[in-house]
Amino acid sequence: MKTVTLPSGETVAAFGQGTWNMGDERAVCAEELATLRLGLDLGAALIDTAEMYGDGRSEELVGEAIAGRRDEAFIVTKVYPHNASRKGIPAACERSLKRLKTDRIDLYLLHWRGSVPFAETIEAFIALQKAGKIRHFGVSNLDLGEMKEWCAAPGGGAVAANQLLYNLERRGIEWDLAPWLRERRVAVMAYSPIEQARLSRNAKLAGFAKKHGVTPSQAALAWLLSKGGVIVIPKTSRRERLKENLAALDLALSSNQLGELDRLFPPPAGPQPLDML
């Protein structure tokens, strides 16, 4: 398994499992559980969820998937901005811990910016760290200006990751945010790396994939995995699709292939507003 090193020096799997919209339908829960467990078997130990996903149902599904295997998994979950206060974060964390059936969260993220001052959120995160409830903390959907503000607050420099919308069609962070994060060894967690499966149906990517004997999803994931400090967290509820996606780890794109993808999906020519879903 390819790994990414967090600012603390700890390494985590560069290929994780997303869970957005998982746990919502009983009819497919068995396959979702089997998929998450297979991911653990195959080394995709990082599992990303959030209290927002299905009002906690996703966290409950993850808790069931890691039962008896907690030490194999690196669990990431996210707190709502309206819960990200000095009093709100400890309560939200306890609810997530209960749903996940664990005593600690490996990486706890602010889901997006809200009205609570960053300094207050960071203070609460640090208190949870000291209590052993979380191991690392980070953010999601923060642009460069917000990252600078976060890191200027007391304790904010300990940020481990920024989870961002990043894929072949969403390259805006490459202009300024991604280089800034890379300099500080803050991991980029690329959510929707296949654009919620839309890239698998993209005609340009399909042509590239056919030419090089891979699937469009594998090409999209391999492109992200070729970049240092990037963790991909594609979501799938099916074991067969998980195995297809994981094969991207064995796909080393050449400089010519990377150049071809740049021509098909050009990098940004200037600063852009942060993309979010």
With beta carbons less than 8 A apart as the criterion, state whether 187 and 74 touch. no
Distance CA 135, CA 114 (A): 23
Q: Where does the chain have alpha helices with state H?
A: 26-41, 57-65, 88-100, 118-130, 144-152, 177-183, 203-212, 216-225, 239-246, 255-264
Q: Which residues lie across from 230 on neighbouring strands?
A: 188
What are 123's two structure tokens?
């203070």
Cα dihedral across residues 210, 212, 218, 224: positive or negative = negative
Place of tokens 């901005």: 81
Distance CA 199, CA 218 (A): 10
Catalytic option among 53, 108, 166, 191: 53
> Active site includes 53?
yes
- What is the set of active-site residues? 53
